[in-house]
Amino acid sequence: MLEEIKKHTEYDVAITKQDHFGDGITKIGDKLVFVKHGLSGDQCRIVITNVKKTFAVAKIEKMFQPSSERVKPICPHYEGCGGCSLMHQAEEKQLSFKENKVRELFSRFAGISDFEIESISHGQLTHYRNKVVFHGLNGELGFYQEKSRDLTPIQQCLLVDEEIDQVYQRMRDYLMTYPDEEVLEVMIRKTSLKELMLAVKGKVNSEHLCSFFQDFPLASLLLNGEVISGKRYITEKIFDFQFRILSEAFFQVNYDMMLNLYQKVINYYRDKHYRKVLDLYSGTGTIGLLLTPYVEEVVGIEVVKDAVLAAKMNQEINQVKNISFIHGKVEDYIDEFEQIDSLVVDPPRSGLDSKTIATILKISPDSMVYISCDPVTLARDLKSLLSNYQLSHVHLVDMFPNTYHIETVVILEKRRDSLFDHYDVLVNRLHPYQAEDYLGIEMVKTKDINGQDVYVEKETYEHYLLFRTKLQELGIQVSISSGYRTLAEQQQIIDEFYSRYPEEKVAQKVAPVGTSEHHTGLALDITVRTQDDYLSNQLDSEKQKEYGEQYQIMETLCADYGFILRYPKDKEEVTGVNYEPWHFRYVGYPLSRKIMSQKLTLEEYLEENYIMEEIK
């Protein structure tokens, strides 16, 4: 019978691997033992510090043969502080540990193992943090020990920027000068523009504090949340944008790695020409604002009110108009959105809630960029998201060297088997547009005859280009005068028609909201260009006759390119729309040939097809 493991018992063991927090793992009998600061290959004596039902915890008492991965920690506070969980491991081995950690978690929780990690970005090991928070107790400043409120006094933190350390040393001098004052917390921040912020909480004399730091270059000095010197914010620059950072706002603590992470996101969106991107957990608007040069519209949602205020302030100082921010919980607002091209999510460590995941799958954007500081919750969420999406890119960013943390950037793209592939959907006054009929549809942006942006479903647009080339060979110059329209855009057209025509004429000229084929992205008004590039379909009926021959040729050829003339002559009673020689609908080939050769409308074809299915 195996001896029961008890607290304070010593064992000589070999460490075989690391857990996800960087601690070593060994086995005593049939019980796993997690060894603080253990590395694979260590031969050591351990002492049990805690015993649970299924595992035990230990620390190293004596090292017999250290692992080849082991290095000497350079911080004198390493053992007591606990913040730098991997400072005893060589840099290249830290990176290998983090990559293997992500692979193992993805395999265990998401069931995916066949994927490529495209890169793991890393920078300097020390002095990389641009923000630090120290706690105070009995005239001492330091960090709380891991999983406790016990304070470890800190003389110097080697992870923080050197100028931040200078502010910290001055704060330690302050406590020695005024020992009767009680400092509970000290937060110090610095930006790449060399602006420093010091925020102190506690029973502190504001005059003493201001005087003590009057010769120090602080851009912002706050006491218990109130500005006592300088500004309420400091300013950071990211690429061509400036951001004002408030004392309580979240901002990445490693500037160089932050640039690397954001560049990966930007690179993905740069050539996508997306119309609308939703930025969930948008914080102070950093990612959303950085994306505005590359997409038509960004909407951010954030629950922290001060972060939203800061985001709107950042929007204003950067003079960006194509972004808006909503204050509220993501799960309360996300299901209000439709026709989103892509999502960016940078959630808290807890990841996405079940409602948000369900709504993402429902609104079905073409792609999704998921930025995560916890690969465990990321892997859990991926298990659900991969029902409709596939991993396109995986990047790792070592935002926190010397710790077990790793930032992961995952890009998901809609699975090929969930892409839009049915082009015979009917939209008319009896069959209104239903968004669920177009899940997976991909839009591309082009220009209309007036040089304005217009959107068209991807395959429709590709076949339009082939059709246009053929017409050009015949001397017929055409342009798109209208493509995809949102419901709101259709209402604007209706309002415009009411301002120009009598009420009884409007119904004849424009479809009610929700009944226009232009909501699908599959319908195009393809206009023969006049000599002065005026829209020939807007000329009066007499002048339109001059272009009748060109439109007749278009009607004859359109089926070869997957199009049908949607509203032909003498079919008004069937379609409910007057003859429009310029309105073409993509249905795909050979369906287009069948409909056009039999002189059918889409309504007639679908009705005939339905009846045949019923007979079968």
pLDDT at 393 over 60: yes
CATH number of the domain residue 340 falls in: 3.40.50.150
Mean residue pLDDT across the chain: 90
Q: What tokens were used for 616? A: 């079968």
Instruction: Specify the pLDDT at position 495.
Output: 82
**96-107 confidence digits (pLDDT tens):** 999 999 999 999
Position 615 scores a pLDDT of 37
- Whether the Cβ atoms of residue 274 and residue 342 lie closer than 8 Å to each other: yes
- Counting residues of the chain whose pLDDT is more than 90, the rounded percentage is 70
The residue among 52, 69, 86 that closes a domain is: 69
**Which CATH number is 42's domain given?**
2.40.50.140
What is the pLDDT at residue 363?
Answer: 81
Lowest-confidence region among 221-235, 434-448, 524-538:
524-538
Specify the amino acid at residue 81: C
541 or 415, higher pLDDT? 415
pLDDT band at 355 (very low <50, low <70, confident <90, very high): confident
CB 323 within 8 A of CB 285: yes
Helix or strand (DSSP H, E) at 314: helix 305-317
* CA distance linking residue 574 with residue 567, whole number of Å: 9
| CA–CA gap between residue 166 and residue 161 (Å, rounded) | 9
Mean pLDDT confidence for 174-203:
97
Q: Check residue 597 and give its pLDDT.
A: 93
Comparing 271 with 523, the larger pLDDT belongs to 523
| Rounded Cα distance, 616 and 597, in Å | 24
DSSP 19-46: -TTS-EEEEETTEEEEEET--TT-EEEE
Mean pLDDT for 364-379 is 94
Supply the pTM of this predicted model. 0.69
Q: Which pLDDT belongs to residue 150?
A: 87
Q: CA-to-CA distance for 198 and 213, rounded, in angstroms?
A: 10
Q: What's the confidence (pLDDT) of residue 588?
A: 87
Res 142 pLDDT > 70:
yes
Q: Which CATH number covers residue 211?
A: 2.40.50.1070
- Is 44 a residue whose pLDDT tops 70? yes
More confident residue, 148 or 143: 143
Assess whether pLDDT exceeds 60 at residue 614: no
pLDDT for position 1:
36
Give the span between the Cα atoms of 375 and 365, in whole angstroms.
Answer: 23
Same domain as 169, residue 64: no
Does residue 542 surpass a pLDDT of 70?
no
- CA dihedral for 116, 118, 124, 127, sign (positive or negative): negative
Regarding whether 145 and 57 lie in a shared domain, the answer is no
Task: Specify the CATH number for the domain of residue 529.
Answer: 3.30.1380.10
- Examine the pLDDT at 331 and tell me if it is beyond 90: no
Establish if 608 belongs to a structural domain. Answer: yes
83, 32 in Cβ contact below 8 A?
Answer: no
Residue 443's domain comprises 435-615
First CA to last CA distance, the chain: 72
Give the count of domains, the chain.
4
Same domain? 341 vs 214:
no
Q: In this predicted structure, what is the pLDDT of residue 610?
A: 55
Both 192 and 243 in one domain: the answer is no
Give domain status of residue 206, yes or no: yes
In this predicted model, what pLDDT tens digit does every residue of 151-169 receive, in sequence order?
A: 999 999 999 999 999 999 9
Asked whether residue 26 is domain-assigned, the answer is yes
Listed residue (114, 170, 96) closest to 396, CA to CA = 96
* Domain edge (last residue) among 18, 51, 69: 69
Alpha carbons 228 and 90: distance in angstroms, whole number = 44
Statement: residue 571 has pLDDT above 60? yes
Residue 533: predicted pLDDT: 46
Helix 375-385 with 91-105: angle, nearest 10 deg: 30
In this prediction, residue 353 carries a pLDDT of 87
The pLDDT-based confidence of 338 (bands split at 50, 70, 90) is confident
Give catalytic residue positions. Answer: 580
DSSP string computed for 516-544 = -GGGTT-EEEEEEB-TT--BGGGS-HHHH
Q: What average pLDDT does the segment 389-396 reach?
A: 95
Would the pLDDT of 299 be above 70? yes
- Kindly state whether residue 77 falls inside one of the protein's structural domains: no
Is a pLDDT exceeding 80 seen at residue 502?
Answer: no
511 or 22, which is more confident? 22
pLDDT for position 501: 72
